[in-house]
Copies of this chain bind each other. A is one copy, B any other.
Amino acid sequence: MSVEVVKVGLLGLGTVGGGVIKTIHSQQEKLAARLGKRIEIVKALVRDAEKERAVQMGRTVLTTDFDEVLHSGVDIVVEVMGGVEPAYDYVRASIEKGCHVVTANKELLAKRGAELVELANRHQVHLAYEASVAGGIPILGVLRQFLRTNDITGIRGILNGTTNFILTKMEAEQLSYQEVLREAQELGYAEADPRSDVEGFDAMYKLYILAQLVYGESLPLAEVSRKGIADLTCGQIRIASELGYRIKLIAQANQTGDGIHLSVEPTALPLDHPLAQIQDSYNAVQLSGNIVGDLLFTGRGAGEMPTASAVVEDLAYLLTQPFTPHPVWKEREGAAKELSGGREQSLCYVEGAGPAATPDRVLQFLRASGVEVHKLKVQFDLGGVLRAGLITSGLHEEHTDLLRSDFGLQVRCFPLLHASE
């Protein structure tokens, strides 16, 4: 009996591409039982067809020419090459040829998703991208299918495994950012050029995609407030810990009366906050629904197999679903005002050795300025350098500016979440 074959073209044969091939091989029987079809990778686009690879592929499968993929009769194109160009051109051409597309490419979606969604709808093909956000956690599917009656009032997540690994290590082993980054690079957890991860771009792209699914719109990327972790010090993390907080790179979307607010930034969480427990390279997404309450989804957010799992689950899902138009993506300018507005609490770290750098003078100044200080932790080292952490309310930029200019202090403030947020 001949079994129908689904022909897949694979764009990119790096870590995730290799995982996709392994998964399709190891789960072939299960996939066939579910789909009644056999999945076959007929072409794989690579940069160098001669390179040694962990995954064995027939020489006729590998190609360096995208047109060869497109004209090999593929039904589905899986794009796991990353970056906007040339991925955008390839995905666009695949859709126009009537192929379904599965992609793990968050940057492509955040930058060109609106066009691609519209194009896929026009050509009535699936555009599936579960793997682009939070790796193996099926968060996009849940939002699209099972949380559509609820109003989602907030999303908070740890969406980047590399930075979470770095922050976990910095705290646990009291190492500097540079030391841990080097180790992460040696282990293959961080890229040679780590900017996309450590400056928060990667988490921002994922947050953008989540916002599109939850709110049906997002801010333009330029309006997302984004801070990375590259300037964090071991001293900041230690004093936060002594105050009962852990610093995480938190991506947040909140909808208020005057619009959406999207931010990615190092944030202080009390140790009993569910997201404070997410360590190493794990990812997590916390959702608040007006009916269901808080839900938390945790799993491996990156890496070969979790991401490959999401790609192949997407593949299987779209092969069993009739096409239905994808909700249109929109962008609307005009972010909501900063949520904090100076009234919220923050964890403020100060460091310096000048004559005015004493806890008494700092506290006196803050109180006279109307800033409440709820908690204070002070350290002096042998060289007379003050290091202090303060939990404050009502701290504005004008105050931190004065702490720098008049008190000779380095200042770094972190917004603060409460355990129930």
Residue ranges of A at the interface with B (Cβ–Cβ < 8 Å)? 23, 26-27, 30-31, 34, 130, 136-138, 141-142, 145-151, 274, 277, 289-300, 305-306, 308-310, 312-313, 315-317, 322
**A299 in contact with B300 (CB, 8 Å):** no
Partner of A147, one of B138, B294, B296, B322: B138
A4 CA to B208 CA in the complex, in Å?
35
Residues of B within 8 A of A297 (CB): 295-298
**B148 in contact with A316 (CB, 8 Å):** yes
Closest B residue to A135 using CB positions? B292
**Which of A146, A300, A310: most chain B CB closer than 10 A?**
A146
Residues of B within 8 A of A27 (CB): 149-151, 291
Closest B residue to A142 using CB positions? B138
Given contacts A34-B148, A150-B27, A150-B313, contact A295 B299 (CB under 8 A): yes
Residues of B within 8 A of A141 (CB): 142, 145-146
**Which of A145, A291, A305, A317: most chain B CB closer than 10 A?**
A291
**B293 in contact with A306 (CB, 8 Å):** yes
Chain A to chain B: the 4 pairs with minimum beta-carbon distance, closest first: A136-B292, A138-B146, A292-B309, A291-B309
Closest B residue to A289 using CB positions? B309
A146 CA to B296 CA in the complex, in Å?
17
Give the copy number. Answer: 2
User: A138-B142, A292-B299 provided; 17 other pairs, C-beta below 8 A?
Assistant: A26-B290, A26-B291, A34-B149, A136-B295, A138-B146, A146-B313, A146-B317, A147-B313, A148-B317, A289-B309, A292-B305, A292-B310, A293-B305, A294-B299, A294-B300, A297-B297, A297-B298
**B293 in contact with A296 (CB, 8 Å):** no
**Which of A27, A138, A292: most chain B CB closer than 10 A?**
A292
Closest B residue to A141 using CB positions? B146
**B296 in contact with A151 (CB, 8 Å):** no
How far does the Cβ of A366 sit from chain B's closest Cβ, in whole Å?
35
> Could you pull out 20 A-B pairs where Cβ atoms are within 8 angstroms?
A23-B291, A27-B149, A27-B150, A136-B289, A136-B295, A137-B295, A141-B146, A145-B317, A147-B313, A277-B277, A289-B309, A292-B306, A292-B309, A292-B313, A293-B300, A293-B309, A294-B299, A296-B296, A297-B298, A298-B298
A142 CA to B338 CA in the complex, in Å?
35
**B136 in contact with A313 (CB, 8 Å):** no
Partner of A312, one of B137, B149, B151, B294: B149
**B300 in contact with A31 (CB, 8 Å):** no
Residues of B within 8 A of A147 (CB): 138, 313
**B277 in contact with A149 (CB, 8 Å):** no
How far does the Cβ of A145 sit from chain B's closest Cβ, in whole Å?
6
Residues of B within 8 A of A290 (CB): 26
Given contacts A23-B149, A145-B145, contact A292 B300 (CB under 8 A): yes
**B293 in contact with A136 (CB, 8 Å):** yes
Closest B residue to A24 using CB positions? B149
Residues of B within 8 A of A309 (CB): 149-150, 289, 291-293
Closest B residue to A315 using CB positions? B149
**B299 in contact with A293 (CB, 8 Å):** yes
A351 CA to B50 CA in the complex, in Å?
69
**Which of A274, A298, A310, A315: most chain B CB closer than 10 A?**
A298
Residues of B within 8 A of A148 (CB): 30, 34, 313, 316-317
Residues of B within 8 A of A149 (CB): 23, 27, 30-31, 34, 309, 312-313, 315-316
Residues of B within 8 A of A274 (CB): 277, 298
How far does the Cβ of A215 sit from chain B's closest Cβ, in whole Å?
12
Residues of B within 8 A of A296 (CB): 296-299
**A305 in contact with B317 (CB, 8 Å):** no
